[in-house]
Structure formats: structure tokens, C-alpha cells
Amino acid sequence: MATPTADQTNVIEVDVRTDEMLVNMGPQHPSTHGVLRLVLRADGEIVREVTAHIGYLHRCAEKIGENLAPYQYIPYTDRMDYLAAMNMNLGYALAVEKLCQMKIPERAQIIRVIMAELGRIASHLVGMGAYGLDLGTFSPFLYAFREREKILDLFEETCGARLTCSYVTIGGVTHDFPPGWVERCKQFLDYFEPKIEEYHTLLTRNAIFIRRTAGLGVLPPDMAIAYGCTGPVLRGSGVRHDLRKVQPYCGYETYDFEIACPPFDDAPDEAVIGDAWHRFYVRMVEIKESVKILRQALARYEQNPEGSHRSPEWKPTMKLPAGEAYLETECPRGQMGFLVVGMDAPIPWRVRARSSSFCNLSVVSELCKGCLIADVPAIVGSLDIVMGEIDR
């Protein structure tokens, strides 16, 4: 082929030397959801390789767990996924209860389900709002926070805290609901349910939003499983797997709800199963399913279920029997697992936290290969990570 000359207008670049460039993103970057550092090897605008550097928020949570009795460790689990503290508390409490083979009263189980689902809604609302921010739209964030505030108010009434609740604890929950709480929660649900449609008009069916997310960062189901992805990231790839159905805890098997999983009838034509749009939409459908579970759980609570809000078996000086117990729960961001090793002492020998965001983030280098630099925040945002949980 003849060498092109400068007067050939159809050739844009004549003998321009291009080099790959390292672009550093984070750890302080508004769209990395905390202190995540990504090093991009970019060829022009195209990302060739992404290396994630984590650990900026490491607080030795596992080491602390070896020095505290389980009920003292609950506040530390709040600070793992600080957007879904209730679900974190529940995961650790269930793992300890599995080790001690403690029986939980019916009443406490129902309260736990209510709290876990409210936590899921609150967390998905932040996920939705923050994803809008990543893609450059500000208003959905404000709408999401308006509703989330009401959930946090409900949390505050039960335990006095809004974010770091420590409400679900070993043996049950710390307090029963205050008078009138169930009524207020129902009022919230009646107020909240029609709002979901508003989010769809604001974000889900927004033409710009679809252009930015559909077909982007496609995660095939076998890769999602191989990388240990769970939660909406796994379900967004079309794998029908939800621990609340597969391996129920807290009596989830008695509630009527669906697993949010594609294919969706109302997906836009451009969207492919496993892309950023589907991961986002799974969360939106899950909000709806959570409302369904909440209505059933509140109705059960009103029938005054048996037992108290906390198991009488629980004592602060309770010894953990020798043995190991590993238990995963379906948290908003995926399956959070706790391994508790007991040694006939009130303090566990070892606490291990398997973080869902940790595994979900590890797939980012595969997802970002060959995408544009501007799409990196859209892909990372669709994984909905929380750094507190990754670094523990």
C-alpha cells in the first residue's frame, strides 16, 4: 500500500505516533463511590486495561472481631456496608446464631425481615440516585434521598440511629417496635409505592440514560459465576439466583415474592442481558418486590406473633462452642458471608467477612476492557460498590 500523503483528505492522521498512557482515577474521585483507585492503561480514548487498587478504607475489621464478643462486634458490621447496616447486622447475627444453634422467636424473625427489606430499599435508592450522578443527572438523586430520609426516620424511631443502626443483634433485635410504628411504616409504603414509577420516568426510560448504559459492560453469566459475582450483578446477567429463595433464612420461604431477573418485557431494544442497564433495572424491580414482602411482614406482625423480640437464650457472657459456621445472606449488594470460628470462649477465635462488593469489583478489569474512558464511571457505578464493605 502506498504511503498516504497530507493532501489526502480521507486520511485523518498521517504518521502520528501514539503511545499508551496511564490515567490515574481516584482514590478521590467523585464517581468511584468512595476511595477506590483505578489505573487505566488507555490507548487514546480506549481503555486497554484497568487495575483496581483497594485498601484505602481498611480498618482491620476481622482482627477487631477476634477481640470482641459477638454482640460488641455488631456496631463494626454497621460500618462495613454503611448504606445497608441492618443487613450487615443480620448477616453476622445469623452466623453467630448458627454456631450457637440458637432458636429465634417468631416475632424477632418478622422484625428482622421488615428491617432487612427496608434496608434494601434504602440502599437501592442510594444506588439509583448515585448512579444518576455518575452519569451526569442530578435530580433523581434528590428524589431518591427524599424517600430514603423517611426510611431513616423509621429506623431512628426503632433504635435511635439512622445509618449505623446496630438494631439487629445476636438473638433477635435490641428493642421491639414503638407504638404506632407499624402504622407509620404502612403509611410510608402507601406513599412510596407510586413514587417508583416516577423514578422510571426520570431515569429508567430516559433516552440519554439508555444511550449511556444499554449494551455497556456486558457480563456473561458464566463469567459472573466464575468471578463470584452475586446479587443484582449476577441476576442482571440472567442467572436466577437469590439466597432468599435458594437457601432461605428468617422464614423468607413463607413470603410471596419473585426473583428480579431478566429478560424483562419493558427493556429497551438496545439493552442486552448482562449490561449496565439490566444491573440497574434489577435493583428497581427488587425495590418493588421488597415492598411486597414488607406488606406481608407488617400484616403478620400485626397479628401479634409468638415470642419476644429477643431470644431468652442470649446472654452477654454466652460462650461460643468450638466449631466453624459460615453463613451468607442476600444483602442489597449481593451475598455477604460471615465465617465465625468458636473456641469455647465468649470471644470468637476468628471472624471472616466475605464481601459481595469485593467479588463484584474484581470483575471490573474484564468489563472495562475496550470501553471508552468516559464509560468507566458508568460501568463501575452499575456494580454499585461500597468501599467500606470491600476494604472492611
Of the two residues 169 and 355, which places its CB atom closer to other proteins in the complex? 355
Residue 8 CB-density burial (10 A; 0-12 exposed, 13-18 middle, 19+ buried)? exposed
> Which residues fall within 8 angstroms of residue 116, CB to CB, at 6 or more apart?
86, 87, 90, 168, 250, 329
Q: Are 87 and 331 in contact (CB under 8 A)?
A: yes
Using CA atoms, how far apart are residues 111 and 138, in angstroms rounded to an integer?
Answer: 34
Q: 218, 251, 227: which is closest to 106 by C-alpha?
A: 251
Least Å from the CB of residue 250 to other proteins: 18
Q: Is residue 75 reached through a cis peptide bond, with omega within 30 degrees of 0 on the bond before it? A: no
Cell numbers that stand for 293 in this block: 414482602
State in angstroms the smallest separation of the CB of 58 from other proteins.
4
- Does residue 166 contact residue 133 with C-beta atoms inside 8 Å? no
Asked if 48 touches other proteins (CB under 8 A), the answer is: no
Site membership for other proteins, residue 80 (CB under 8 A)? no
Question: By CB under 8 A, is residue 157 in contact with other proteins?
Answer: no
Site mask for other proteins (CB under 8 A), range 83-112, x = bound? ---------------xx-------------
Q: Which of residues 238-267 bind other proteins (CB under 8 A)?
A: 239, 241, 246
Contact range with other proteins by CB under 8 A, out of 115-123, 189-197, 255-263, 321-329: 321-329
Q: Does 354 bind other proteins (CB under 8 A)?
A: yes
- Work out which of 11, 22, 322, 374 binds other proteins, going by CB under 8 A: 322
Q: Please select the residue that binds other proteins; options are 63, 103, 146, 200, rule is CB under 8 A.
A: 63
Cis bond upstream, residue 27 (ω within 30): yes
**38 contacts other proteins (rule: CB under 8 A):** no
> Which among 268, 279, 277, 189 has a CA at the least distance from the CA of 233?
279
| Residue numbers at the binding site for other proteins (CB under 8 A) | 54-55, 58, 60, 62-63, 98-99, 223, 225-228, 239, 241, 246, 322-326, 328, 335, 337, 339, 341, 343-344, 349-350, 352, 354, 358-359, 362-363, 391-392
